[in-house]
Amino acid sequence: GNSVTQMEGPVTLSEEAFLTINCTYTATGYPSLFWYVQYPGEGLQLLLKATKADDKGSNKGFEATYRKETTSFHLEKGSVQVSDSAVYFCALSYAGGTSYGKLTFGQGTILTVHP
């Protein structure tokens, strides 16, 4: 079956540090890939997405590139802020007939940024 594996956390950084959160996936066919962010007490918000190989998703300074050869979708940001502290989820949706409405999530990575 389809699965997503994220790097183990939590991740603790100082403000303005470089961020990488690794994400790899297992899926048949050509899934779409997503990064979602969850702030305390809230639901999930879409951060960025990529729908085909070599696509780069970007938003709010975050970037991730869909690498089919390494089945990866690593999240990066050049300079994190305290306000980026949240839980980050990598996810895939598979355009298959039995996959309506289904996102498969990684386990989530807690990011804490200190001033």
Partner 1 sequence: KAGVTQTPRYLIKTRGQQVTLSCSPISGHRSVSWYQQTPGQGLQFLFEYFSETQRNKGNFPGRFSGRQFSNSRSEMNVSTLELGDSALYLCASSSTAGTPRDTEAFFGQGTRLTVV
CA angle, residues 78, 83, 84, in degrees to nearest 5: 45
The nearer residue to partner 1, 37 or 113, going by C-beta atoms, is: 37
Q: What string marks each residue from 82 to 101 as x (binds partner 1 by CB under 8 A) or -?
A: -------x---x-xxxxxxx
Binding of partner 1 at residue 108 (CB under 8 A)? yes
Q: The tokens of 44 are what? A: 């999930």
Sign of CA dihedral 101, 25, 8, 90: negative
Binds partner 1 (CB under 8 A): choice among 106, 109, 111, 113: 106
Q: Which amino acid is at 93?
A: S
User: What Rg value do the Cα atoms of the chain yield, rounded?
Assistant: 14
| Ranges within 3-22 binding partner 1 (CB under 8 A) | none
Quick one: which segment of 16-24, 38-46, 57-65, 72-80 binds partner 1 (CB under 8 A)? 38-46
